[in-house]
């Protein structure tokens, strides 16, 4: 009797609850919890030594104005950090939104604008709330004028590239294409964050917080997107449409 009841319960769960949705929700909760713990450590000053050691590790001993590596690596650092800049992310978001508009997928275009716009608001509010000063140990390799925590470039790169990557990957029926698109999104996000530390404009924990905040927001947006797809407001995952 107990076995029969257990089998009935398992069948009900499979019928009414998607395992992937549970996993996404769990990842979102874990990411937000990790971000909260990191923020608490930063506010208490517990990460100061680690931040300082990593930042100095990326500078030439005896000349803190010179990042380690050849001159072309520093130039590449500027190029990579620009991938998380307002102009690049705004144009990327605009181009992809227009693509969905031309495809007459108005809900998807609106979803992109809300996801990226919401990330900008969250990033701005977080910077105002924590108001952490920028690193003053080394000269900055890029112009900055806002607070340091969390890294806006890192967070917005995560929000934009992950959100766009997920939305585009949903249109691909083949798993390897989905993985490839998402891998590019993650790779670009990591490049932007690492370049911010290399350029000396952020503490490492600023970047870590930006990644976590951006990933958490992207996960929340993905959960919403799946819910909208189930209701027919945006496209279903291509693999779900296949016969």
Point out the catalytic residue in the list 16, 140, 145, 153.
Answer: 153
Helices (H), the chain: 2-16, 19-44, 48-57, 71-82, 86-102, 106-130, 152-157, 163-169, 175-198, 204-230, 238-241
Based on the residue annotation, tell me whether 145 is a catalytic residue of this protein. no
Residue ranges of the domains in the chain? 30-40+48-241
Tens digit of each residue's pLDDT, the chain (243 residues):
445 555 554 454 445 445 566 777 888 889 999 999 999 999 888 999 999 999 989 888 888 788 888 888 989 988 999 999 889 999 999 998 998 889 888 888 888 888 898 888 988 898 888 888 888 877 666 667 777 888 989 999 999 999 888 888 877 778 888 899 999 999 999 999 999 999 888 899 999 999 999 999 988 888 887 777 777 666 666 654 444
For 190, the token pair is 């990591």
Residues 85, 153 contacting (CB under 8 angstroms): yes
Q: CB within 8 A of 102, min separation 6: which ones?
A: none
From the candidates 16, 140, 145, 202, which is the catalytic residue?
202
C-alpha distances in Å from residue 36, one per residue of 4, 19, 41, 62, 190? 43, 26, 9, 36, 20
* Neighbouring C-beta atoms of residue 64, cutoff 10 Å: 14
- CB atoms closer than 10 angstroms to residue 230: 13
Please say if 202 is a catalytic residue: yes
């Amino acid at each position: 009797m107990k076995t029969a009841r257990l089998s009935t319960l398992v069948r009900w769960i499979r019928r009414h609850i998607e395992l992937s949705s549970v996993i996404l929700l769990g990842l979102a909760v874990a990411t937000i919890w990790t971000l909260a713990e990191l923020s608490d450590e930063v506010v208490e000053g517990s990460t100061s030594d680690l931040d300082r050691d990593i930042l100095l590790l990326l500078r030439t001993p005896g000349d803190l104005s010179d990042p380690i590596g050849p001159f072309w690596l520093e130039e590449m650092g500027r190029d990579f950090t620009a991938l998380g800049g307002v102009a690049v992310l705004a144009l990327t978001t605009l181009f992809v939104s227009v693509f969905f508009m031309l495809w007459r997928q108005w809900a998807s275009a609106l979803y992109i604008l809300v996801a990226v716009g919401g990330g900008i608001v969250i990033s701005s509010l977080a910077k105002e709330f924590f108001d952490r000063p920028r690193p003053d140990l080394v000269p900055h390799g890029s112009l900055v004028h806002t607070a340091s925590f969390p890294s806006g470039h890192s967070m917005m790169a995560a929000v934009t590239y992950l959100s766009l990557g997920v939305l585009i990957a949903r249109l691909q029926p083949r798993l390897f294409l989905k993985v490839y698109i998402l891998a590019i999104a993650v790779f670009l996000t990591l490049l932007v964050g690492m370049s911010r530390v290399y350029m000396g404009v952020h503490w490492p924990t600023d970047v870590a917080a930006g990644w976590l905040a951006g990933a958490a927001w992207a996960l929340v947006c993905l959960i919403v997107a799946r819910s909208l797809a189930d209701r027919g407001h945006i496209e279903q995952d291509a693999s779900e449409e296949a016969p």
